[in-house]
Amino acid sequence: MTMIFGVPLAVFMGQLTLGLVNGAFYALLSLGLAVIFGLLKIVNFAHGAQYMLGAFAALLGFRYLGINYWLALFLVPLVVGAFGVLLERFLLRRIAHLDHLYGLLLTFGLALIFEGTLVNFFGVSGARYATPEILQGGLNLGFMFLPTYRAWVLVAALAMCLFTWFMIERTRLGAYLRAGTENSQLMQAFGVNVPLLITLTYGFGVGLAAFAGVLAAPLYPVSPTMGSSLLIVVFAVVVIGGMGSILGAIITGLAMGIIEGLTKVYYPEASNTVIFLVMILVLMLRPVGLFGKEA
């Protein structure tokens, strides 16, 4: 059997794939956080809860309305994103003129409310969401067995990341977003409806989280607390990558997933902490993050 540094190839590749899939979620979520932070200057603490709402919406939509996975993948980000639009329009906008810490507090409070409400109805044990039939099973690649659904998650998450990157870096709307991130007052003086841009940006970021939630539903138990544990790691990823760049968020997310996966192979005890160790290292050597811009 082929060995890599004393570990069977199949085990190594298995953990690498697992890490990549986790990394894809980190990338999707940190991307949304970075986009929201860029324009609103708010650390969206509700991001994990909004990811969880995405998973729950898929679960409940299937259970009560018969909405299948593919439709959910399309509809849920829109619905949860629209919910985000309402949150921005009626709550966040009211405190936009205050210190941005209030935005952090408000979104943190919202996260607790969403989680608490769902715990009240569904408990914390978590429900199973069936993997769509066509994505069940796996592919035998000869050197490893690749579960089809994980491969799909990787492809879908990366496609969504690239789509977001394209929208922000290559379109006119994206240019508005980038410029608004730098100087929203001047954008307003050019005649750009910045309040609307802010609302749509928040909605988009929330929609991205919900998309990740739907992707995650067949993979992890759907529970009200599934987002909060993930969000801590995603914050660390954002700190490592820095807030500066879209591509940076994607690359850092994937890289951290891989590092975490490989740590599981070689020193499993550290797999839960390795990302935070990297974070400490990055903060010591390059406080603005790997892709952050020096102020």
Partner 1 sequence: MNTAEAQAPVQNSLSREMLRVKDLHAYYGESHILHGVNFDVKRGELVTLLGRNGAGRSTTLKSIMNMVGRRTGSIVINGNETLQMKAHHIPRLGIGYCPEERGIFASLDVQENLLLPPTVSSGGMSLDEIYAMFPNLYERRKSQGTRLSGGEQQMLAMARILRTGARMLLLDEITEGLAPVIVQKLAEVLVQLKDLGMTIVLVEQNFRFAAPLADRHFVMDHGQIVEEISAAQLPSRREHLNSMLGV
Q: Is 185 in the site for partner 1 (CB under 8 A)?
A: yes
Smallest distance from partner 1 to CB 101, Å: 19
Residue 175: CB minimum distance to partner 1, A: 5
In degrees, to the nearest 5, what angle opens at C-alpha 149 toward C-alphas 19 and 249?
40
What 3-state class would DSSP assign to 285? helix
Q: Does 288 bind partner 1 (CB under 8 A)?
A: no
CB of 293 vs partner 1, minimal distance in Å: 8
Q: Is 37 in the site for partner 1 (CB under 8 A)?
A: no
Closest CA to 23 of 218, 260, 248, 214: 260
Helices 246-266, 274-285: axis angle to 10 degrees equals 130
| Nearer of residues 132 and 169 to partner 1, judged by Cβ | 169
Residues 187-206 that bind partner 1 (CB under 8 A): 188-194
* Residues 31 and 253 sit within 8 Å (Cβ to Cβ): yes
Give the residue among 48, 68, 55 at the shortest CA–CA distance from 108.
48
Structure tokens at 24: 């894809």
Side chain identity, residue 12: F
**Residue 97 CB partners (closer than 8 Å, separation 6+):** none
Q: Please check whether residue 118 is in contact with residue 55, taking contact to mean a CB–CB distance below 8 angstroms.
A: no
Using rule CB under 8 A, residue 181 touches partner 1: yes
At closest approach, how far in Å is the CB of 248 from partner 1?
A: 13
Each residue 148-177 as x (binds partner 1 by CB under 8 A) or -, in order, gives ------------------------x--xx-
Quote the tokens at residue 259: 């590092």
Q: Which of 65, 105, 113, 186 binds partner 1 (CB under 8 A)?
A: 186
Question: Can you say how many angstroms the Cα of residue 33 is from the centroid of all Cα atoms in its chain?
Answer: 7
Number of residues that bind partner 1 (CB under 8 A): 18
Under the criterion CB under 8 A, does residue 183 sit at the interface with partner 1?
A: yes
Of 38 and 253, which has the nearer Cβ to partner 1?
38
Report the nearest approach of partner 1 to the CB of residue 168 (Å): 10
User: Which residue in the set 91, 179, 219, 251 belongs to the binding site for partner 1 (CB under 8 A)?
Assistant: 179
Residue 137, token pair as written in the block = 């099973």
- Three-state secondary structure call for residue 144: coil
CB of 185 to partner 1, least distance (A): 6
Residue ranges binding partner 1 (CB under 8 A)? 172, 175-176, 178-179, 181-183, 185-186, 188-194, 293
